[in-house]
Structures are given as C-alpha cells and as structure tokens.
Amino acid sequence: MDYRNMTDETVLIDLMLDVGHRLWARGYVAANDGNMSVRIGKDELLITPTGVSKGFMTRDMIIRMTMDGKVVSPEGKYRPSSEYRMHVQVYRERDDIASVVHAHPPYCTAFAVAGIPLDKCALPEAVLMLGAVPVVPYGTPSTEELPDSIKEYIKKGDAILLANHGALTAGADLHSAYQRMETLEHTAKIMHLAMGLGNVNILSKKQITKLLEVREKMKISGRIKLSEKK
C-alpha cells in the first residue's frame, strides 16, 4: 500500500495499526516497547498509547493530542506514549517532518549499547536514506532528558541511535519514517556481519558524490549528514 499523501484521520489510524504490527512482527519491539506518531495540523498529533503491544493495537487506542500534552480524544483508559515529548521535539525542530517512529530493533540497539555510530558510508541505500547515523547521549526514557539529547542531532538527519536504548527515525509521512527504520536495522545487521568477517570497505569520496547526485535526482525528502571524516 502506498502510504503517501494520505491525510484522512481514520486512514492514518489504520496505517498506524499496520505499521505497529510490522514493527512487532519484525521483532523491532518487544512487549509494550516502541511508539510512533503522525503530525496532523499545526499543533496536534496522533500517537500510540503507553502500555500496549504495538502489534495488537485497535483503532480506539490511538490518541489525538496537542503538542503541549493535552489529550483531545478519545477519552478513556488509554494514555499517550510516555515518550510523546521526544516526538514533539522532532516536530518543533523540523517543519518538514510529519511522522516519527521509535523502536528497539536488536541490531540498531546493539550498536547503541556498544556506542558505535553507523557513520561508515558502506551501503548505497544507507547513504541515500540515512546518511551518517549518530549515537546520541543516553537520556532517561519518559523524562525531558531524551528530547534534550536528540535536539541538536535531529536538525541534521532523520535517523538516530539512542545510547543504551534504541532508535528513532523521522519522515515526511509515516511511510518514509517507517521505511527509514527498516533501512536502519538492515544496515546495522549488515555492518555487524561485515565487522564479524573482519573487514569493512567504505565507499570512496567519488562514489559518495555520485550517490548524492542520485539522491538529488530522486528528490528524496529529509536531511542527511555524512561523516565528517569523509
């Protein structure tokens, strides 16, 4: 299904259920981990609830809330993700972003625990979609520490590893934010395997320049920052 250019709230809610199921089915979240949101309008967002498996959500669980934390609907037993401040931080820093996905995919999270950024330009898709992915300093989940720790990094790129925690991706819509999470985990897995083989060949400056030209031509949305060592 093409998720792009869909703005109807019920359609967006159905897509959030679908993406939640994919995150769970692919093992990117365990138990009640993870959260996602979609910006609707200037000051509101749809967000997943806290304390619920993202693989088994139903429509009535998705919460509409304001950027300053007030629940608009539905009234009931579900509360918004305790990480909503992290989502709001992304929307405040980036006008071009309308969706945020946060998960704990095992390979991404292993790099985040090891403190190793995914900043080697070794795979074309990773260069095109993610750029160099930093590990941002640890922040206690559900507190202001996490929004503070991502603030500077999200200005430069759409994918971030959260130290000792997991990963966050952002996009112009839910489709692109989710796809970035898939690309990020796939990249982390391949890098882990290549590191295990004992060698990682990185792309040359010339090869990267060509990829950036392709990125321009394909009009890929979002921002990427490449490693300063290049």
The catalytic residue positions are 83
Query: Smaller CB distance to Zn ion: residue 157 or 166?
Result: 166
Query: Smaller CB distance to Zn ion: residue 35 or 187?
Result: 35
Q: Give the nearest distance from C-beta 170 to Zn ion in angstroms.
A: 15
Touching Zn ion, residues 107-166 (CB under 5 A): 166
Q: Give the nearest distance from C-beta 32 to Zn ion in angstroms.
A: 10
**C-beta nearest to Zn ion: residue:** 166
Alpha helices in the chain (DSSP H): 9-25, 84-93, 106-114, 124-129, 145-154, 174-197, 205-218
Cα 86 from chain centre: 11
Cα 68 from chain centre: 21
Query: Smaller CB distance to Zn ion: residue 62 or 167?
Result: 167
In one letter, which amino acid is 113?
Answer: V
Q: With binding defined as CB under 5 A, does residue 80 bind Zn ion? A: no
Q: Give the nearest distance from C-beta 222 to Zn ion in angstroms.
A: 22
Instruction: Kindly tell me the sign of the dihedral angle through the C-alpha atoms of 166, 172, 173, 179.
Output: negative
Residue 11: half-sphere exposure toward Cβ, Cα within 13 Å:
12
Residues that bind Zn ion (CB under 5 A): 166
